[in-house]
Amino acid sequence: MSNATITFPLFGDGFSLDFSRYFTLFGFNVYYYAIFIVLGYALAAFYLMRRSELFGLTRDNIYDLVLIAVPCGLIGARLYFMIFNFDLYFGPGQWGNILRFRDGGLAIYGGIIASGLVFIIYSRIKKISLGNLLDAAGFGLLIGQSVGRWGNFINREAFGSETDLPWRMGLTAGATTIYVHPTFLYESLWNIVGLILMHIFSKKSKTKYPGQYFLFYVAWYGFGRFLIEGLRADSLMIPGTDFRASQWLAALSFLVAAGILIRNHLRSKNDIAESTVEPKVDEDEESTIDGDEIVGDEIEQLAVLDGADAGEIDSESDDEVDEDEESTENLAALDGASEDDVSKES
C-alpha cells in the first residue's frame, strides 16, 4: 500500500491525495519521512533552547542532547524493530538490510530506551542531574513524535484496522479500497495534547522535582500508545505469541510512571500538612504556679524575681534614709542661720 491513493470520506468524495514518498535532488532520493523526522528534532531543539532554564541546562547541553539523541535514537529504534523481525535481517542474503534505513523499519520505543541509556552516561560525565536531562527529553519526544508521525502518513504505514467511522482514511491500490483507522493521526494529536498540558503545568505549578515531566511523558504516552496500538494493523508481535510488543511495553510504562507520580504527589501533600500543623501541648503537662506545683525553671525564675524585688525594696529604703538625713541637715542649717540673725539684731 506504499503507493496507494489516500482519501477521507469526511472531506467529500472528490478529495484524494496521491503523492510519492520521496523527491529526487541531485540524483539522490530524499524521503519525506526523513524530512519530518529532522523537522521534529529541529522544533524540539528550538523549544528546549527557549526553555533551557526550566531544566537547569545550558544551550551547550541542549546541543549535546540533540547530537546524542539523533544517532542513538535511530540505532535504538532500528535494533528494537530488528529484534521483532529477526528473519528480515539475519540469515542468508538478509544482512544487508540492516543498513537500509531508507526502506523503513524503526520503532520509537527502541529509540527512547537507547537515548535514555546514553543520557545516563552523559549525566555522569557532565555531573548533571539525570532527572533534568530526562525532563528535557520528555518535552523533546512529545514534539518530535507529534511531527514525525506525519512521515508515517506519507509512507501509508502505521495505519489501523478497517473501520466505518466518519473520520476513516481510505487507501486505494488498483481496484481495491480499504477504510482504516488513521492511527498515525491519533498518536500525533495525543502527543500534541500531552505537550500542551505539560507546558501549562510547567508554567503554573509550584511543586516540581527533577524527573517529574519525564514521568508524565512516559505515563501519558504509554496510556495513549496502549490504546492506539490495539488498533494498528502492523504491530510488532512478541515472537511465538499473539501479544503486541509495544502495547504491553506501553501498559507497563504507564503503570510504573503513574504509580511513581501518585506516590510522589501523596508524599508532597503529607510533607506540606506536617509542616503546617502546630505542635499540640497536653494540658496535663502545663505547669501552674500554685503552691507545691512550682517546679524546675519556674522556681529559678521566681527566685530571680524575688531577688530583684528585694533589691528594689532595699534601694528604696536607702533612698528614704538619705532623704531624711538631708532634711535633718537642712533644718539644722536653718536653725543656725536663725540664731545668727537674732544675735546680729540684738
- Residue 61 in this model has a pLDDT that exceeds 70: yes
> In percent, how much of the chain has pLDDT > 70?
78
- Give me the helix-helix angle, 245-276 and 108-126, nearest 10°: 50
| Three-state secondary structure readout of 293-327 | HCCCHHHHHHHHHHHHHHHHHHHHHHHHHHHHHHH
Reading the block at residue 81, the C-alpha cell is: 524493530
Residues 283 and 117: their CA atoms lie apart, in Å, by: 58
Q: How confident is the model at residue 295 (pLDDT cuts 50, 70, 90)?
A: very low
Q: How confident is the model at residue 134 (pLDDT cuts 50, 70, 90)?
A: very high
Task: Report the first-to-last Cα separation within the chain, whole angstroms.
Answer: 152
- Residue 209 in this model has a pLDDT that exceeds 80: yes
Q: How confident is the model at residue 244 (pLDDT cuts 50, 70, 90)?
A: very high
Q: Give the mean pLDDT of 150-167.
A: 93
Q: What is the pLDDT of residue 123?
A: 92
Q: What is the pLDDT of residue 214?
A: 96
More confident residue, 82 or 263: 263
More confident residue, 342 or 225: 225
Do 2 and 173 touch, CB atoms closer than 8 A? no
- Residue 340 in this model has a pLDDT that exceeds 50: no
Q: Give the mean pLDDT of 78-93.
A: 82
Q: How confident is the model at residue 179 (pLDDT cuts 50, 70, 90)?
A: very high
What does the pLDDT look like over 94-124, one tens digit per residue? 777 777 776 677 888 898 899 889 889 999 9
- Residue 345 in this model has a pLDDT that exceeds 70: no
More confident residue, 143 or 174: 143
Element (H, E) at 115: helix 108-126
Strand partners, 6: 17, 171
- Residue 304 in this model has a pLDDT that exceeds 60: no
> In percent, how much of the chain has pLDDT > 90?
47
On average, the pLDDT of the chain sits at: 82
Q: What is the pLDDT of residue 11?
A: 94
Q: What is the pLDDT of residue 279?
A: 57
Maximum alpha-carbon separation in the chain: 161
Residues 6 and 155: their CA atoms lie apart, in Å, by: 11
Q: Is 48 helix (H, G, I), strand (E, B) or coil?
A: helix
Q: What is the pLDDT of residue 89?
A: 83
Residues 126 and 109: their CA atoms lie apart, in Å, by: 25
How many other C-beta atoms are found inside a 10 Å radius of the C-beta of residue 141?
27
Tell me the helix, strand and coil percentages in the chain, rounded to 5. Answer: 70, 10, 25
Q: What is the pLDDT of residue 278?
A: 56
